[in-house]
């Protein structure tokens, strides 16, 4: 077994670990939600009993759930501990897969679509763990691990190529600078997308969405309970839409700066390699489209007062453009950036 095959096995191991972590994150949110609902029910019952004897305030009883209680409940969650531990283990396995691919290929693994997804998911999970050191973002775990596992499996099954030397055009130090910054920006955009997706779900639930409240629909007197099987009450345990939007905005601001440098670095490299800085190549066009979408988002958010759902949908559209740029453009168009490897 050579290093390339070892790297592939490690990548499968990382995808497996992220899948286990995703399930554990989902279980944690569900268990905490159930515990808080039971606590509220018990408190409400106690309030009713005490109502006739001086009121609940006399005995220090409140029907609201204190934030400290939620924090304490989450600290006691075994599922959360398993989720964070498994995510960390998966990240370390992922790092080993990245390193062995680097050695096997003889270059930084950013030269084809498989290597890009291997690296991009690595950055996304690493950013999630790094943010966790500063603020509690464990609520993002279920989405981040789901996306990372999905992209890794997709890369291994659809975009995988054997580790090999890069094309002559890529044998340049700009491969490390230009593509490395693009990979980092994409990892940041992935986490910001996860944040905005949760923002949209939480906002819909807060504004009375029938589906997200698990109420289903009525057909011939029967309640269609398919959506009730999904415990959407976990959305009550994540931050408010305003807090999620603020986090997404900060991440996108950093990602936008990096993406701007990606385009500038690409132009410098193109001038050196092809004798022109810009040639309307499909990859260049879509990179510019991404820049415009995120620039419009930041402009609308800061100067036009766009907030809430409109801002979140802007992020979703921007991330869709990012995914298309690194998959669809490589598969559907022919140009100087046709380095998919498949």
Q: pLDDT tens, position by position, for the chain (342 residues)? A: 889 899 999 999 999 999 999 999 988 887 755 555 445 555 555 555 445 555 444 433 344 444 444 444 445 578 899 999 999 999 999 999 999 999 998 888 887 889 989 999 999 999 999 999 988 898 899 999 999 999 999 999 998 888 877 666 666 777 778 888 999 999 999 999 999 999 999 888 777 654 555 554 444 444 444 444 445 667 777 888 999 999 999 999 999 999 999 999 888 888 877 778 888 888 889 999 999 999 999 999 888 778 888 899 999 999 999 999 988 888 887 766 665 555
Please give the residue range of the domain that contains residue 120: 1-46+66-166
Residues 131 and 28 in one domain: yes
What pLDDT is stored for residue 177 in this prediction?
Answer: 85
What pLDDT is stored for residue 33 in this prediction?
Answer: 56
Residues 178 and 125 in one domain: no
What pLDDT is stored for residue 212 in this prediction?
Answer: 54
54 in a structural domain: no
Residues 109 and 215 in one domain: no
Residues 235 and 140 in one domain: no
What pLDDT is stored for residue 108 in this prediction?
Answer: 84
What pLDDT is stored for residue 247 in this prediction?
Answer: 94
Token duo for residue 238: 């994540």
Classify each residue of 110-123 as buried b or exposed e, where b means 16 or more C-beta atoms within 10 Å of its C-beta. bbbbbbbbbbbbbb
Rounded-to-integer distance, Cα 312 and Cα 199, Å: 7
Residues 42 and 159 in one domain: yes
Alpha helices per DSSP H over the chain? 3-50, 67-75, 78-105, 113-134, 141-154, 174, 180-206, 241-274, 282-303, 309-326, 328-332
What pLDDT is stored for residue 126 in this prediction?
Answer: 96
Tally of domains within the chain: 2
267 in a structural domain: yes
Residues 282 and 179 in one domain: yes
Rounded to the nearest 10°, the torsion over CA 214, 217, 218, 223 is -30
What pLDDT is stored for residue 154 in this prediction?
Answer: 93
Residues 186 and 142 in one domain: no
Residues 316 and 291 in one domain: yes
Residues 161 and 171 in one domain: no
Residues 93 and 187 in one domain: no
56 in a structural domain: no
Rounded-to-integer distance, Cα 246 and Cα 244, Å: 5
52 in a structural domain: no
Residues 183 and 309 in one domain: yes
Mark which of 147, 166, 185 sits at the end of a domain: 166
59 in a structural domain: no
Asked whether 125 and 18 are in contact (CB, 8 A), the reply is yes
61 in a structural domain: no
Mark which of 105, 132, 166 sits at the end of a domain: 166
125 in a structural domain: yes
214 in a structural domain: yes
pTM assigned to the model: 0.81
Residues 127 and 106 in one domain: yes
Asked whether 37 and 181 are in contact (CB, 8 A), the reply is no
Mark which of 166, 182, 197 sits at the end of a domain: 166
What pLDDT is stored for residue 72 in this prediction?
Answer: 47
């Amino acid at each position: 077994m050579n290093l390339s095959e070892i790297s592939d096995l490690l990548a499968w191991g990382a995808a497996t670990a992220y899948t286990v972590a995703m399930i554990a994150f989902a279980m944690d949110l569900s268990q905490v939600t159930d515990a808080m609902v039971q606590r509220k029910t018990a408190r409400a019952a106690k309030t009713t009993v005490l109502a006739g004897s001086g009121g609940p305030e006399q005995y220090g009883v409140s029907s609201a759930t204190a934030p400290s209680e939620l924090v304490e409940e989450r600290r006691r969650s075994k599922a959360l501990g398993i989720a964070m531990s498994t995510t960390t283990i998966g990240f370390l396995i992922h790092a080993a897969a990245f390193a062995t691919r680097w050695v096997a290929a003889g270059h930084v693994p950013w030269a084809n679509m498989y290597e890009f997804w291997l690296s991009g998911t690595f950055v996304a999970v690493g950013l999630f763990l790094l943010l966790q050191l500063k603020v509690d973002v464990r609520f993002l775990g279920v989405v981040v691990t789901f996306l990372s596992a999905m992209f890794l499996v997709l890369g291994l099954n659809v975009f995988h190529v054997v580790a090999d030397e890069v094309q002559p055009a890529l044998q340049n130090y700009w491969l490390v600078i230009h593509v490395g910054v693009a990979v980092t920006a994409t990892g940041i955009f992935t986490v910001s997308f996860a944040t905005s997706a949760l923002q949209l779900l939480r906002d819909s639930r807060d504004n009375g969405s029938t589906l997200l409240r698990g109420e289903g629909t009525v057909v011939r007197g029967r309640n269609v309970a398919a959506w009730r099987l999904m415990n959407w009450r976990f959305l009550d345990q994540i931050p408010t839409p305003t807090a999620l939007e603020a986090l997404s905005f900060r991440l996108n601001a950093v990602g936008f700066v990096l993406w701007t440098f990606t385009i500038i670095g690409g132009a410098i490299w193109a001038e050196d390699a092809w004798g022109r800085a810009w040639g309307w190549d499909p990859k260049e066009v879509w990179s510019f489209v991404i820049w415009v979408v995120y620039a419009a988002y930041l402009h609308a958010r800061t100067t036009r007062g766009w907030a809430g759902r409109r801002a979140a949908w802007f992020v979703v559209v921007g991330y869709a453009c990012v995914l298309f740029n690194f998959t669809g453009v490589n598969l559907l168009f022919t140009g100087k950036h046709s380095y998919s490897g498949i």
